[in-house]
Amino acid sequence: MTYIAAIVLLIGVTLYAIRTGSIKVGLAELISGLLFGGNDNVDVIRDLRFPRIIVAIMSGAALAVSGVLLQSVMRNPLADAGVIGISAGAGFVSVLTVMIWPMLFFWMPLFSVIGGLIACFLVYTFSWRSGLQPLRLILVGVAINALFTGLNQLLGFRGGIAMSTANQASSSMFALKTWDDVKVIVLYGVIGLIAAFALSTWCNLLALQDRTAGNLGLNVMRARVIVSFVAVLLASVATAIGGLIAFVGLLVPHISRQLIGTDHRLLIPFSAIMGGLLILIADTVGRTLLTQTEIPASVIMTIIGGPFLIFMLMRSDRVHGN
């Protein structure tokens, strides 16, 4: 039931997002324009607005599911690609590479994944000895995030060639997305989302203690590495194409757990839908709220996300007990 409501809502918002903005068209006009061509307004919408909507939905879905996976593998409801530095690492390495070798632009998602993996590896390394203790892991993550965010800003200050590409990965602007971006994010995003769904049973087992999961026949170390890899892939691709958006991976899984429960077989697809919905709303509000200028979705998410994080911290003691 909740599922159907979420899907209907996503379709509804998508239709609204297609029709609204500086160019407005009716649904009938839109469909005939898409099918038979010959309508300039519809062509503009197809080339500019469609890619942006698809990228927004895919980024949101990828980041939300990445959050679910990280939270399960780190046994920590506060783990999120943005918070623990994976997105920042992904952004930094991809921007740096493209600055040095601009012709590698096409491979940006790959370097993004490498950056994400480096950040993830660092977080694990420095929190491993404490047995991945939740608080320590988050603190290490915050430090790694600060490091990469600083490095990103350094690249930004260098100006010149950096600016054109750096903007893309260091703040999220869904405007100017093309069908090429769509191809990349849909390809890697869908692979990542399917992989995530396939791993849902492992995620369920990781919620138990390691030794219990091990006694049930799960190779815990291997499961951790694989689930982390998929989480990094999703977050990095979303960062490479959609840019840095904080808090989606925190907010969406939390709300989804309240609505649908902790069974990952349901939670993962539901979080994907909710994540897509949330970013699409943020982007649509951002581009229609002010007529003169646009507010990036990442800015909107940060403004909603901060207070939400505090709210979550205050509630979590009460709801979950542990």
Partner 1 sequence: MEIKELSFAYKHRAPIINGITTEFQKGKITTIIGPNGSGKSTLLGLMARNYIPQAGKIIVEGRQLQQLKAKELAKLLAVVHQQNEAPYDLTVERLVAYGRLPYRHMFSQETEEDREAIDWALEVTKLAKLRRQRLHELSGGQKQRAWIAMALAQKTSVLFLDEPTTYLDIFYQIELLELVKELNETYGLTIVMVLHDVNQAVRYSDEIKVVKDGSIIAEGAPEDVMTVELMKQVYDVKAIIRRDEETGMYIVPIAVKA
Nearest CA among 87, 36, 21 for reference residue 235: 87
Least CB distance to partner 1 at residue 211 (A): 4
Which residues sit at the interface with partner 1, rule CB under 8 A? Answer: 198, 201, 204-205, 207-209, 211-212, 214-219, 261-263, 319-322
- The contacts of residue 219 (CB under 8 Å, 6+ apart) are none
Least CB distance to partner 1 at residue 157 (A): 44
Our CB check for partner 1 shows the closer of 299 and 312 to be 312
How many Å apart are CA 310 and CA 259, to the nearest integer?
20
Count of beta carbons in the 10 Å neighbourhood of residue 295: 16
Our CB check for partner 1 shows the closer of 44 and 208 to be 208
Least CB distance to partner 1 at residue 210 (A): 8
Residue spans of beta strands (DSSP E) within the chain: none
Least CB distance to partner 1 at residue 216 (A): 5
- The contacts of residue 274 (CB under 8 Å, 6+ apart) are 6, 64, 252, 255, 256
Count of beta carbons in the 10 Å neighbourhood of residue 163: 13
How many Å apart are CA 55 and CA 297, to the nearest integer?
12
Our CB check for partner 1 shows the closer of 24 and 315 to be 315
Least CB distance to partner 1 at residue 209 (A): 6
Structure tokens at 124: 């694990």
Our CB check for partner 1 shows the closer of 41 and 212 to be 212
Least CB distance to partner 1 at residue 205 (A): 7
Residue type, 44: V
Concatenate the DSSP letters of all residues of 14-55 into one string: HHHHHH-SSS---HHHHHHHHHH---HHHHHIIIIIHHHHHH
Least CB distance to partner 1 at residue 311 (A): 18
How many Å apart are CA 222 and CA 271, to the nearest integer?
24
Our CB check for partner 1 shows the closer of 107 and 197 to be 197
Our CB check for partner 1 shows the closer of 29 and 263 to be 263
Least CB distance to partner 1 at residue 76 (A): 13
Our CB check for partner 1 shows the closer of 46 and 136 to be 136
For CA atoms 297, 300, 304, 306, give the dihedral sign: positive
Our CB check for partner 1 shows the closer of 266 and 295 to be 266
Which residue shows structure tokens 């709210």? 311
How many Å apart are CA 319 and CA 322, to the nearest integer?
9
